[in-house]
Chains A and B, each alone.
Chain A
Amino acid sequence: MEIDKSEFLRNYSATYESQSFLQRWLRKQDAHSLSSFVAGFSCCQLEYQSAFLATNDKPSGASLIPWEKNNPNESDLLIIGGSLNFKLYPYILEMYASLMRPCWVVALGACAIKGGPYHSAASYAVMPEINSIIPVDVFIPGCPPHPETIKQGFELLRARILAGISAENKLAGEAGHAISI
């Protein structure tokens, strides 16, 4: 007997976009074993540390904290915090190209999102928008963002991964778009 796939998916899959059990399993694995590379070169990194490292309370699950790597080649989550200027731009591209695939990008703070306080008419050095350079999954606003906001942003990222939405696929014409919390 042949199973109606669409009926089955609607009834039994956690996310309606899932194609197979294996794919859903893979997404769950992705969402709970993120290894991140923190490209923080400004004050936002201090608040990122506060959000995940400088807490006395025990994390509810080990997966809550993205595992930090010192090498972009070994990580699939890129966290960019700080203002991007023209001299830094090629290195950002290089770093994005060397990430493991599939990958996700989080823009931390106002500077990374749209130049922040440095996005001024007089400024000649700061890149206007990060989303025009690399596809970004989650924007976390604030100058610098509060640790609670950062945690909230990472929950959103996890939900996106589970649902199979990725900004990386945007270029390929698949479903996916950047959202701000």
Chain B
Amino acid sequence: MPFPSKQAFVDNLQTVFSQILRERENGIDVNFFVSSHTYFLVVQRLFTEFEFLTLLDLWGVDNLERASIPKNPEQSEARFQISTILLNYKFDVRLKITFLINQEQKVPSLTKIYNNAVWPEREVREFFGLNFLDCVYENLILHPATDGFPLRKDFIPVTVPLEMLLPVRNFFSSASVEFAHKGNFVEWLELGPFFAEDRGAIRILAKVDGEQVYDVNMDVGLSHRAVEKICEVTSYSQIPLYMERLNYHSSALNSLCWVKGLEDFMHISISERSMAMRMVFAELSRIFDHLGCLMRMVIGSQNPFADRLFLLQREKIKVLFSEYSGQRLFTRAIVPGGLSTEMPGGWITSCMETMIELKKFMARLNKSFVRNLAWIESTDYGPISANDAICEGITGPNLRASGINYDLRKRNPYYFYSELEFDIPIGQNGTMYDRFLVRLEEINQSIRIITQILDNLPLGSVLAEQDMTSLFESGEIWQQCHPGEFYSNIEGSNGELAICAVIDSGPNPYRLHVRSPSLYHAQFFSCLVKGTKSQIGQQALPVASLLQCFDSLNIIASEIDR
């Protein structure tokens, strides 16, 4: 590439598309405003010429009751607004494209360029009632009997009569597999929606031939809890409650994503000590989540007593949380302006002691799993190539297991991550074994981060300087900053977690969208089992490893459905 640096690349992009440029946003490098006619062509050009190979996110907004609608020079006013986030991995440039559209018009579909645009587009269709060009989509998350489009502003919830709620059985639409294996005996294997391990409510339907899985289809939406809609009537300081429960394995990371975005948008500065303590909570959550993922993988290998080993380690982190706030899973530690309470006496010492114990446990895990031939053989399935990982929007440890060195803590460091010493583990083949190793090493690195922070903890207070709840309710804050949109992204435990919010002058956010990494991982799972075009001659997955492979992606159902 002729561009020496990220800045040169962004400058070039801005001169080429200077007519449709929009003011800069938090978390976004380049911001475009296009018309619905040129949308597809612009995206195609960005894909081919500027190597924006990844579609990170796609969501819609209903501008019906919005006071400050952004003015689009390209286009007359319309009711709905659709935004897309694209990513160029080479220069780490995030690009946002927005266009307005009316209900009667059809939205151009991006599925011809990006494979992973299918599920986000299906979501836009069912939640906003917008139809896509050349694509007929069924409901992804909502029950087919649901009346109306929930994320529209004039939606009135109607109680569905319970007789209408029949189970959605025949979601397996593609008949291609049956055709391909016509001579053989093809069985249907239905898994879920309730599992003994904590994956959440999700259904997996597999087509099985003998001992091998040929195709998999997923049924999601069984734990849809309407978080995005509820957040539209919830005050800013209460939203961390819902964010923590999205991915309950890593509660602090989720609330950190929302609170950090809000503080950046409103220019609220926090003390150094609270920054450091937030990082401690975030890394503790990461360890907790990774231990859960490893536990599910190990249970999948028919190891009957493995779960207790991992649960005892997770218990130690829960005890740390409960020592801080009394709650064992959801601490509500991270609130706008700082932390909710001061550290209790002796908390830092007990945190250090826990880290030492965890370190010993990790050494034990290393000894029993890393060079264990039986373990290596049983987990040598489900490879994700680097090409697929980039094109399908896979992020986090799953991306790094495929050999791509990309971590937001290093690339776009927030708080004190740039001053700490830690390494990013990278896999080679992207198999289940590589994903296991990457998570194993990330726990070690998180322990390293926590011990470094606690050794050099800045002095001062962790509490907010002013009462944030009354500040948000009184409305004084809106005189300081004007309404707009923001995009906040952090390195979550199972991928890039992002929150896109539309802030209008009011006590609640106008629209809140969560980019859950699990959604894209779950979408890719059927391709992973089938084997993509770039992996000819791939081994078929055995039935016994199906759930283990699913767990190695660390998919949590409540995060997919929101």
A12 at the interface (CB under 8 A from B): no
- CB-based nearest B residue for A85: B224
- Does B408 belong to the interface (CB within 8 Å)? no
Which of A25-33, A117-125, A170-178 forms contacts with chain B?
A117-125
Q: A53-B307, A54-B308, A124-B226 are in contact. Are A91 and B167 (CB under 8 A)?
A: yes
**Which residues of the other chain, A, contact B142 by a CB distance below 8 angstroms?**
87, 125
B162–A89 touching, CB < 8 Å: yes
Pair A43/B245 contact, Cβ less than 8 Å: yes
Q: List chain A residues, Cβ under 8 A from B194.
A: 37, 39-41, 72, 91, 95
A125 to B139, CA, bound (A): 14
Bound together, the chains give a CA A82 to CA B193 distance in angstroms of: 13
The reply to whether the CB of B376 lies closer than 8 angstroms to some CB of chain A is: no
* B167 and A85 contact, CB distance less than 8 A: no
The answer to whether B242 and A117 have CB atoms under 8 Å apart is yes
Give Cα A147 to B446, complex, Å.
Answer: 27
Which one of B166, B167, B225 has the greatest number of beta carbons of chain A within 10 Å?
B225
Q: Are B315 and A94 in contact (CB under 8 A)?
A: no
Work out how many contacts link A and B, with CB atoms closer than 8 A.
Answer: 129
Distance in Å from the Cβ of A127 to the closest Cβ of chain B? 9
By a CB distance below 8 angstroms, the chain A residues around B226 are: 118, 122-126
Distance between Cα atoms of A143 and B227 in the complex (Å)? 16
**Is the pair A86, B201 in contact by a Cβ cutoff of 8 Å?**
no
A38 contacts B196, C-beta separation under 8 Å: yes
- Kindly state whether residue B157 has any CB partner on chain A within 8 Å: yes
Category for how many chain B residues contact A: 35 or more
Interchain CB contact under 8 A, B225 and A125:
yes
Asked if A90 CB lies within 8 Å of chain B CBs, one says yes
Contact A87 B224 (CB under 8 A): yes
The reply to whether the CB of B221 lies closer than 8 angstroms to some CB of chain A is: yes
Known: A39-B194, A41-B201, A85-B225. A121 touches B233 (CB 8 A): yes
A50 touches B315 (CB 8 A): yes
In the bound complex, what is the Cα–Cα distance between A3 and B476 (angstroms)? 83
Query: Which residues 31-52 of A have a CB within 8 angstroms of B?
Result: 37-43, 45-47, 49-50
Using a CB-CB cutoff of 8 Å, which residues 82-114 of chain A contact chain B? 82-83, 85-91, 94-95
Cα–Cα, bound, A146→B315 (Å): 12
Contacts of B225 in A (CB 8 A): 83, 85, 118, 123, 125-126
Contact of B232 with A by CB under 8 A: yes
Q: Is the CB of A87 within 8 A of B245?
A: no
Asked, given contacts A123-B157, A123-B226, A125-B225, whether A42 binds B558 with beta carbons under 8 Å apart, the answer is: yes
**A49-B307, A88-B193, A144-B330 are known contacts; what are 7 more A-B pairs with Cβ within 8 Å?**
A39-B194, A41-B199, A85-B143, A117-B245, A118-B230, A125-B142, A144-B328
Residues on A lying within 8 angstroms of B by beta carbon are 37-43, 45-47, 49-50, 53-54, 56, 68, 70, 72, 82-83, 85-91, 94-95, 117-118, 120-126, 143-144, 146
**Which 5 pairs show the lowest CB-CB distances between chains A and B?**
A43-B248, A54-B311, A41-B201, A124-B157, A90-B167
18 contacts between A and B (CB under 8 A): A41-B200, A41-B201, A41-B558, A42-B223, A53-B308, A53-B311, A54-B311, A85-B143, A85-B225, A86-B145, A86-B160, A91-B194, A95-B194, A118-B230, A122-B157, A122-B233, A123-B225, A126-B225
